[in-house]
Amino acid sequence: MTADNELDVRYESPNSGQRNHSSVIQMLSSATPQNLLLLNQILRELAHSLNKPVLEFIDSLIERIMIPRGQKLLFWLDKQNGESLSASAVAEEFQVYDLGHGKLLEMIYLRQLVVKILNDEKSLPKVSSPEYASKLSVLMEHMHALLIALLKELSGFIHISETSSVHKKLVEDHITNFRTAFDGYKSFNEILEALAATPKLFSPPEEGTFKIEPKTIAKIKNFTETNKKWCIDLLLDSNALREFFLLENDAKLSDDNTVDDLCFVVTSEKFICFNRLRKERLRISHRRVF
């Protein structure tokens, strides 16, 4: 926060300070097939590493827009009596601005793009295709630009007095996650450029596959570790985890729970399944923009 209690929202172009995107892609197209396949496989893993937490982030935004005052349990069945939970408590707090937000469609579209990458959908070339690296890179650039545009538009509501306070709080609560996402896409491009500049990437096939330089390996390791930590942090702060402890009889949240305990929970198969089913019940994962 700034001194005058306004959010310090900064934006950066997806390619700020980096080599021209098209020139890097053009360079990659001249790599040998063997090296290009290895490069594609590396880029695929990097894209998956970043987009797993991005998916959790976008789903959190969608939930906050769909259910702005946190009435998550309204959509669950009480395990004791099988009846729907009462809406009387949340009805008292209802405001007209809770009916929705114009940016929901953009969030759903972003989610579709993330899922496209994570699911290796047919609309993307196969990893063995010479076009994979270029198509994936362009898609990642597009997602980065859309996230920047989304934050710009959402942050504009902070200064509109008629806007619901829950929408203002959404930006306040997630500004750090937006910046983490921006840093992630920027790091992806930096690693792509470093890989494109690797010696032997364009060497004849008889010279074997290219070797990644140590400093690039260090960047890749930091990139994947940062993404893993971000994903866990998002889940630790999620409504899904709070509901998991409320609804699962064998899972109890207490002051005795350490961070390691909670990390173990959010990476467990039981919680992963719970989180997936919860998104389906809240209709987060079912929405599409055609």
Burial 38-73 (b: 16+ CB within 10 A, else e): bbbebbbebbebbbbbbbbbbbbbbbbbbbbeebbb
Q: Which amino acid is at 13?
A: S
Look at residue 134 in the predicted model and tell me its pLDDT. Answer: 87
pLDDT digits (tens, 9 = 90+) for 54-95: 999 999 999 888 876 555 444 443 443 444 444 444 444 444
- Render pLDDT for 230-246 as a digit per residue (tens, 0 to 9): 999 999 999 899 888 88
Burial 230-249 (b: 16+ CB within 10 A, else e): bbbbbbeebbbbebbeeeee
Looking at residue 77, its pLDDT comes to 39
Amino acid 273 reads C
Q: The whole model's pTM is what?
A: 0.82
The rounded distance, in Å, linking the Cα atoms of 227 and 237 is 15
Tell me the domain boundaries of the chain. Answer: 21-281
**Tens digits of pLDDT across the chain (290 residues):** 444 445 566 656 665 545 556 677 767 767 788 888 888 999 999 999 999 999 999 999 998 888 765 554 444 434 434 444 444 444 444 444 444 556 788 899 999 999 999 998 777 888 988 889 888 998 999 999 999 999 988 887 776 655 557 667 888 899 999 999 999 999 999 999 898 888 777 677 666 678 889 999 999 999 999 999 999 999 999 989 988 888 876 656 565 667 888 899 999 999 999 999 999 888 887 766 65
